[in-house]
Amino acid sequence: MELKKEKFMRGRALWHALASIGVMLGGLALLSGCSGRGVVSGDKWEKHITEETVYIEGVDREYTLLFITDTHMVVRGEDVSAQEKENEDLRFPEFVNEEGVPSAEQFPEWIRYANETEVDGVLLGGDIIDTPSAANLQWLEEQLAGLDVPWLYVNGNHDWTYPWEYMTETGRETYLPLLQTFTQGGKAVQSLDFGEFLVVGIDDSTNQVEGAALPEYEKILEENRPVIVMAHVPFMTQSVLAKAREYWDSPAVIGGGNYGGIYPSEDSERFLTLTTAGESPVELFLAGHVHFYDRDVIEGEKEVPQLVGGAGFQGNAILIHVTGTAK
């Protein structure tokens, strides 16, 4: 226990050390002296927006990215099977905010917020819909069609699964293709190019990084442009592992297998090595899945900050400011 505590402290200390060299991620509080967390009133409910700033050397202007994950929208469909109806009845009440507003009703407010505030991009971190039902997919498509800004969508473990076809071959063949509209044709590596930096989407919705993603990921990293990675399942940090163990009965982060995390596959291990290599251009890792907010660093040759978004269905989002540092 003592050893782990010591390691945790070292992680935090490194975090602070990074601040002085300008690649550190920090809450706005650090910059402005005011709280980085804020609430914005919607018509019937309050958005809980956590603001974070990532400093990337050489970036010329400030960009804002709205990161939303785990909204788990359930839109009740007509003409659904008894099995689907039973699942919807069970899951629908789970995904409401504290004001009792169902997640699918909250989502248009985020679209409006993104358009009105003219963020530079919306990043959707998976489990945005709770199942790939026809009603969910249609609702999602309609909502995203209303976004006036670029967006990127990675799959979570729920977007393309039903409880009765969870990660099965049949599920993969039948439902995964339905998400292709949202995932740039179902590519293993997606990207959103902001010129000065890239946001790269990686599918780790099966709790492992797809091997097919690695060659292209490697190629992108070799470009040596700053990269923000978005995936669904977080990688292990001391903080997220400890909290995930407390919140969930099953392993919920990749890495730290001996301590209750998921043992990484060879591909996930390789992905992690590339991401945290000394010369890696990855400046930030975004994830969701665990339904609580967290901020820590993924340890490696390079310490990569990881931000984990709280549950979208509870009205949470992270507003990320990307800004430059002096060269």
Q: Which residues bind Fe ion (CB under 5 A)?
A: 70, 127
Which residues does 175 contact at the CB level (< 8 Å), separation at least 6? 132, 160, 161, 162, 165
CB distance 71 to 95 below 8 Å:
yes
What is the DSSP-derived secondary structure letter of residue 162? B
| Residue 6 identity (one-letter amino acid) | E
DSSP per-residue codes, 44-88: SSEEEEEEEEEEEET--S-EEEEEE----B--PPSS--HHHHHHH
Q: Min. distance of Cβ 198 from Fe ion in angstroms?
A: 25
Quick one: 70 or 303, whose CB is closer to Fe ion? 70
Q: Min. distance of Cβ 62 from Fe ion in angstroms?
A: 30
Quick one: 70 or 84, whose CB is closer to Fe ion? 70
Cα–Cα distances (Å) from 226 to 59, 61, 117, 280, 300, in that order, read 9, 14, 25, 9, 17
Nearest to 71 by CA among 130, 112, 121: 130
Quick one: 24 or 128, whose CB is closer to Fe ion? 128
Q: Min. distance of Cβ 230 from Fe ion in angstroms?
A: 15
Quick one: 127 or 299, whose CB is closer to Fe ion? 127
- Side-chain half-sphere CA neighbours of 279 within 13 A: 5
Can you name the residues that pair with 230 across neighbouring β-strands?
201, 286
- Side-chain half-sphere CA neighbours of 144 within 13 A: 21
What is the DSSP-derived secondary structure letter of residue 236? P
What is the DSSP-derived secondary structure letter of residue 1? -
Q: Min. distance of Cβ 166 from Fe ion in angstroms?
A: 13
Quick one: 154 or 221, whose CB is closer to Fe ion? 154
Quick one: 233 or 282, whose CB is closer to Fe ion? 233
Q: Min. distance of Cβ 289 from Fe ion in angstroms?
A: 6
Q: Min. distance of Cβ 311 from Fe ion in angstroms?
A: 7
- Please identify which residue in the block is written with the tokens 């969870």: 166
Q: Min. distance of Cβ 291 from Fe ion in angstroms?
A: 6
Quick one: 50 or 131, whose CB is closer to Fe ion? 131
Nearest to 133 by CA among 165, 111, 101: 165
Q: Which residue is nearest to Fe ion (CB)?
A: 127
Q: Min. distance of Cβ 61 from Fe ion in angstroms?
A: 33
Quick one: 153 or 217, whose CB is closer to Fe ion? 153
